[in-house]
Amino acid sequence: MKCILMNKNEEVLVVEYNEGSKFFDSIYEVKNINYAPYILKSFYSENDINSTPFKINLSEWFKNRGIPSWRDKLDLLLHRLNITAPYELLDKAFGLSLTDQYWLKPYNSNISYDDINFFDNDFDYAEFMEASLSINSKEVVKEASLKTPNNTTDGMLKKAWIIENGTRYLLKGGYKNETLQPFNEVLASEICKRLEFSHVEYTIDTYKDMVVSKCPCFITKDTELITCHQIIKDMKKHNSIEDYEEYIKKLEGDGIKNVREKIENMFILDFIIMNEDRHLNNFGIIRDVNTLKWLDVAPIFDNGQSLNVEYYDKEELHISGNGRFFYEVKPFDEIIKVVKNIKRIDINKLDGIVEWFDNLLHKYQYLTKMSDSRIEILCILLNRQINKLKEMILNK
């Protein structure tokens, strides 16, 4: 299929897209490479627009817009959607997403971005939400309900985009039989609010007796998320500390203000809640898709894989896992050392948050079946991390 890769209303590439293999077989013409997905920047050569690396990475970028193969209960979801592989969904709605403005326009088509984008236009979501989040649903989703941004959601957790009062919200469940992840998202949001960190606001909601986290879309029809992973692909790789510093310089050089402090805030949060999953695709920057101007560090989001306690006895908490710092898995006590001025944090603003979290967990205990002892352990761990941070601040 001959088509045009678009960035909102800007033509980027004229390509041959193989609907069977989901591969871009040929690049016919480069319209405006500046508006291409940022991750392709380092693979493009104007002297060889059909180079194998460029076509492979273009194809991988597009295929990776689909639901990943490691999505929880993926087999069940595919059965309910009546498809065999998640990348089949990319053809259902032009590859549109709610994290950027890229789409595939059939060649010689008069279709307009304004007519199809999911920021302005409503979409059916009830059937997809049922297929994704429901435990016992036996319904097969109708074709019409596959024209949705739910086709292009990443991550391992069951999730679904919905619309309420014109606002696009993302619902996310727990992992397998775990119910803690949604509460961790809300806890992280509350910590960020108290410490005045830029963040995505999460709340608790329920869907058919399932607890889910709920957050508004933080991208608009004029912006896109460019992840750290995409940005450092265009940088020479050294080690985590060096690349962390280079990443900060890169963002500052492109006009973003207070970069170091905003990224440090993310690692401070990760220390408090012991977030194990700060990978390079869940932080980055916001870019204006019309001007290509880098606007800001992305607000803190995706904090669910936290507070992992293996077991607890009266003498000691036994913790599973470490944090992530760029390419390395490191103890949280090591990662927090990258914060240059920890004393700027008013830790007293977190007074009472352990009790707040305890109340939140107990409020939904009738649905989660989380035991009192487990809730107590989680609160002990949270309290321990806050006290450790207090000591660091006092001793600086």
Per-residue pLDDT tens over the stretch 358-369:
999 999 999 999
pTM over 0.75: yes
Q: How many CA atoms lie within 13 A of 381 on its CB side?
A: 23
pLDDT digits (tens, 9 = 90+) for 307-342: 987 655 655 666 667 899 998 999 999 999 999 999
pLDDT digits (tens, 9 = 90+) for 345-357: 999 999 999 999 9
pLDDT digits (tens, 9 = 90+) for 208-247: 878 999 999 999 999 999 999 999 988 877 788 899 999 9
In the predicted model, what is the mean pLDDT of the chain? Answer: 91
Query: What confidence category does residue 70 fall into, taking pLDDT thresholds of 50, 70 and 90?
Result: confident
**First-to-final CA distance of the chain:** 62
pLDDT at 202 over 90: yes
Which stretches within the chain are classed as H helix?
52-63, 74-81, 113-116, 126-133, 180-195, 228-232, 240-253, 259-273, 332-335, 353-363, 365-368, 372-395
pLDDT at 171 over 80: yes
Distance CA 396, CA 347 (A): 14
pLDDT at 114 over 90: yes
DSSP 67-113: PPTT-TTHHHHHHHHT-SSGGGGGGTTTT--SS--EEEEETT----H
Distance CA 283, CA 280 (A): 6
Q: At what angle do helices 372-395 and 259-273 cross, to 10 degrees?
A: 140
3-class secondary structure per residue, 174-234: CCCCCCHHHHHHHHHHHHHHHHCCCECCCEEEEECCEEEEEEECCCCCCEEEEEHHHHHCC
Q: Write down all domains in the chain, each with its CATH number in brackets.
A: 2-63 (no CATH), 74-84+108-216 (3.30.200.120), 223-395 (1.10.1070.20)
Share above pLDDT 70 across residues of the chain, in percent, rounded to a whole number? 95
